[in-house]
Amino acid sequence: MSRILTTLHRSFPFSLRLQMASWYTTAFAVLLLLTGAVFYQYLEHTMEASLDTDLQLRAQQISGGLVLHNGIVTLPGFGQATPEQGLSPADVNAGALIRLLDAHGRPLSETPAFPALQVPLASITQPLQGIPWQGTVRSTSDQEVRLYSRTLTNEGKPVAVIQVGESLSNLHMLLHQLVAALLVVGFLVLASCAAGSYWLAARSFAPMQRLAETARKIKAGDLHQRVPVPPVRDEVQYLAVTLNSMLDSLDQAFSRQRQFVADASHELRTPVAVIRNKAGIALLETPRLEETVTALSEIRTETERLTLLLTDLLTLARGDEGQAQFEREVVQLDRLVETCVSTTEVLADERRIALAVQIPHPVTVVGDEARLIQVVINLLDNAIRYTNPGGQVWVSVEQTDEEACLIVRDTGIGMAPEHLPHIFERFYRADSTRRRTGGSSSGLGLSIVDWIVRTHGGLVSVESQVGQGSCFTVTLPLTSLPRKIDPPTLP
């Protein structure tokens, strides 16, 4: 059956609803067929048992009318068929099937139809041994007859054997009629089952249809649509919840993308506008040398800022696409931090900020040295940029049994608690007090730090209080970077 359905499905593709209805109907048909077969066998056995009981009672009744005279057993009125009966000697379906035998198994008398039976010898010898016999025999016309044999005793001695039979034709006819009725009823039940299965499948897939309609609306660009969640805790509810969760993620991703594009456009527009204005001043008909030099100097500054912004955007774009390559090498983190601090001392001196380094012992990690330098430089630049003149910045490197820890702490302007979960988002600025205080900044430094650290298998966290400063902590596993590096996608 399954092969037939598979062949039909390959030849004529069915809808999922029709497939489910077909499978349900097929399973019910098999169950109905097995139930009918068991019921038929049970009914046939029960009717044969009832017929055997009837034959036993009939034999007992007949034996009650027997007469024993001079050792001869006779049954008054038994032995010859009357003319008005008109029975054929081989007609086992009409009249009685009775035979009387003596204690030696010799026939004494029988009904006209009994000679047509093919009676086994065991039906005579077994009763003479005191054990009744019953079984199914056939007639010369190949009809089945149920036969029962028992002995008749007098003072404990067998004096005769009585055999009583009944044709099974009526029983078989009744069973055949029952089978025909079951087939008709079964066909009607299967038809009803198929229709009901199709209807139930349609109702079961109604939530799926609503999911499809919602998906079409989302395809049209409406990411605010959500799939209706059914109240019943089933697979459809689980699917709906999963789809809604996916839609929430997509909506947030698209929102971040739109915000990113808007922020990037804004950040790019500012240096481009400055370059255009300064170039206009430099192209005046009678420019003065001082004005031209100032304009060119500002153009170079904005060009550097624009280059930094584009470089950072390209770095993050490669990270999003998984194209950034990370080296796996042994890095002396203590020396790397000391080198980065020396590099940023010029910027710190310009802003009159004191830099302090605390590295009690050498620390070694495995990672990409160039990327780790970028992490340290960005954190130092962020600390110096948002620390007022006269403040301090502390850098320390520590090591435990499993990880290295880089801490950059400052006495800057700090941040409110509600801004901390978003500080590593692209172009995010906590408030107006954290606008750029000088120099060039792309607004992507902390996003790049978070991406590089997470790619190394580490974690970056921040603690901050308004007016008291911030503390950035980077933890890196001593054996970071798996052999196959797949940078995660930034939010």
Is 280 in the same domain as 356?
Answer: no
Model confidence pLDDT, tens digit, residues 132-191: 999 999 988 888 899 999 988 877 778 888 899 988 888 888 888 988 988 898 889 888
In-domain check, residue 227: no
Is 394 in the same domain as 461?
Answer: yes
* Range of the structural domain that residue 297 is part of: 235-318
For residue 370, what is the domain's CATH number?
3.30.565.10
In-domain check, residue 354: yes
Q: What is the mean pLDDT of residues 328-352?
A: 90
Cβ pair 23, 9 in contact under 8 A: no
Is 468 in the same domain as 337?
Answer: yes
What's residue 488's pLDDT?
41
The pLDDT confidence band at residue 82, using thresholds 50, 70 and 90, is very low
Is 151 in the same domain as 266?
Answer: no
Is 308 in the same domain as 369?
Answer: no
Specify the amino acid at residue 232.
Answer: V
Q: What is the mean pLDDT of residues 65-91?
A: 53
Q: How many domains does the chain have?
A: 3
What's residue 80's pLDDT?
45
Is 331 in the same domain as 457?
Answer: yes
Cβ pair 353, 392 in contact under 8 A: yes
In-domain check, residue 328: yes
Is 243 in the same domain as 382?
Answer: no
Is 262 in the same domain as 368?
Answer: no
Higher pLDDT, 242 or 137: 137
In-domain check, residue 220: no
In-domain check, residue 307: yes
Is 426 in the same domain as 462?
Answer: yes
Is 374 in the same domain as 278?
Answer: no
Which of 137-146, 237-246, 439-448, 455-464 holds the top average pLDDT?
A: 455-464
Q: Is the confidence at residue 417, as pLDDT, over 60? A: yes
Cα dihedral 367→368→371→377 (10° resolution): 70
**How many helices (H) and strands (E) are present in the chain, helices listed first?**
10, 14
Q: Is the confidence at residue 96, as pLDDT, over 80? A: no
Of the residues 277, 292, 318, the one at which a domain ends: 318
Q: What is the mean pLDDT of residues 253-280?
A: 72
Which of 63-72, 212-221, 269-278, 387-396 holds the top average pLDDT?
A: 387-396
The Cα–Cα gap between 163 and 151 comes to 9
Q: What is the mean pLDDT of residues 380-408?
A: 92
Of the residues 279, 300, 318, the one at which a domain ends: 318
Is 328 in the same domain as 421?
Answer: yes
Of the residues 139, 167, 195, the one at which a domain ends: 167
Model confidence pLDDT, tens digit, residues 461-475: 999 999 899 999 999
The Cα–Cα gap between 217 and 225 comes to 7
Is 331 in the same domain as 472?
Answer: yes
Q: Is the confidence at residue 11, as pLDDT, over 60? A: no
For residue 163, what is the domain's CATH number?
3.30.450.20
CA contacts within 13 A on the Cβ side of 276? 6
For residue 291, what is the domain's CATH number?
1.10.287.130
In-domain check, residue 333: yes
What's residue 4's pLDDT?
54
The mean pLDDT of the chain is: 79
Model confidence pLDDT, tens digit, residues 119-131: 999 998 899 888 9
What's residue 469's pLDDT?
92
In-domain check, residue 244: yes
In-domain check, residue 401: yes
Higher pLDDT, 192 or 83: 192
